[in-house]
Amino acid sequence: MSRLPVAMVGAGHVHAPGYLRWLSASPDVDLVGVYDPDPARASELSRATGAPVLSSVEACVSLARAAVVCPEPTRQLALAEALAGAGLALLVEKPLGVSPSESGALLALSDKVPLSVALPVRYHPGATGLRRAALDGSLGDAVAVWATNRNRFPGGWFADLSLAGGGCLLDHVVHVADLVGWIWGSRWSSVRAEAGVLHHPDLPAEDTAMVLAECSNGMIVTVDPSMSRPDGMPGALDLTMRVWGDRGVATVDIFAERVEGFDGAGRFRQELVGADMDAAMLGDWVSSMTRDLPPPVPASEASAATWLAFAAQEAVASHSTVRPV
C-alpha cells in the first residue's frame, strides 16, 4: 500500500503540533510539508517535526492528495475551499465553521471531496464503552446527561475574536454535542443557555456558560463548557459525562488518566497518559483515504454538533428557547 501524501494547511490551532508529530511519524503518511500564513510558526513546527515548510496553498495542492486543515477557526473556511477546489480530501479541525453560514459552506464542500472533521473524543475507550452500553441496552432508555468540558483560559488567539470567532460555547460545546449525536443518534429539539465574561474581564467573548438542551428522544442534556479553571489547577482540562438511564447510570471521565508533578521552577505540570485519541482518529482518517472509505466523522454529523453551539449563542443573546428551523 502506497503512503498517502498529506500536507498540513494552517497550523494555528492548539491541536496542530500534536497532529503534525503523528503525521511525521506515521509509516502510512508521506508528510509533504506544512503551510501557515505565519511563516515563523511554520518554521517552528518544521524544526520540531522535520516537515518541510511550504510557501503557499498552491504548493500544498501540487504535492498532496489530502490535507489536515488546522488554522485558527476564522481562517478555516477559506483554506478548506481552496483545497477542496483542487480536489484534495480534507480533515478539518472543529468547530465546523464559526457561523451557521460558514458551517453550511463547509458542509457543501463534503459533496465535492471526502471531508472528515477532527472530533477525536469519539475514539477514547470511555466514549466507545459508553456507546456500547447505550446500544446494548445496559442503561435502558437514557433520561439525562450532565456533561462538562472545562479548562483554563488558553490565551493566544482565544482572546482575539477575529481569529477565535467566539468564546467557550463555540470551542467546547461541540465535543459533547458530537458524543450525544454519535452515541444516541438523536437530534436537538430545544436549547436554552446563559453565558458571560466572569473570569477574564478583558475577553471579547464569553468564558463561562451553561447550556440546557432537549433531544428528540426526550433526553435532557446539560453542558458546562466554561474556561473557568485557574492556572495550575490539577485536572483543569476535563470532559466528563454522567448518564442516567432507566436501567442504570454511567460516568465517563475522558482526561482522568494523567501524571501530575512540578518542574524545576516549581510550576505545576500535568501530562495526559493512557489512550491517544488523536492518534486513533488520525489513523482512522488515513486508513479511510487509502482504502477509499467514507470519511470517519462526516461533515453532516459535525454540522449537527456545531449547531448546538450556534443555538446556544442565539439563546444567550435572546434569553429565549431556540429550536431548529
Domain 4-118 identical in fold to domain 122-275+306-318? no
Question: In the predicted model, what is the mean pLDDT of the chain?
Answer: 94
Query: Under CATH, which number does the domain 122-275+306-318 receive?
Result: 3.30.360.10
pLDDT tens-digit series, residues 251-295? 999 998 878 787 787 777 777 777 899 999 999 999 999 999 999
pLDDT tens-digit series, residues 183-225? 999 999 999 999 999 998 889 999 999 999 999 999 999 999 9
**Element housing 221 (H / E):** strand 220-224
- Say if residues 245 and 214 touch (Cβ distance below 8 Å): no
Percentage with pLDDT > 90 across the chain: 87
How buried is 105 (Cβ within 10 angstroms: 0-12 exposed, 13-18 middle, 19+ buried)?
middle
Report the topology of domain 4-118: Rossmann fold (3.40.50)
Distances in Å between the alpha carbon of 40 and those of 63, 67, 188? 21, 20, 42
pLDDT of residue 274: 77
Using pLDDT thresholds of 50, 70 and 90, give the confidence band for residue 73: very high
C-alpha torsion sign, points 36, 115, 272, 173 = positive
pLDDT tens-digit series, residues 81-130? 999 999 999 999 999 999 999 999 999 999 999 999 999 999 999 999 99
* SS3 state of residue 75: helix
Using pLDDT thresholds of 50, 70 and 90, give the confidence band for residue 140: very high
Bridge pairing between strands 249-253 and 240-245 = antiparallel
Query: Nearest CA to 53 among 41, 42, 61, 44?
Result: 42
Using pLDDT thresholds of 50, 70 and 90, give the confidence band for residue 80: very high
pLDDT of residue 1: 54
Strand order through the sheet with 220-224: 188-196, 208-215, 220-224, 142-148, 240-245, 249-253
**Element housing 209 (H / E):** strand 208-215
pLDDT of residue 12: 94
Domain ranges of the chain: 4-118, 122-275+306-318
pTM (2 d.p.): 0.94
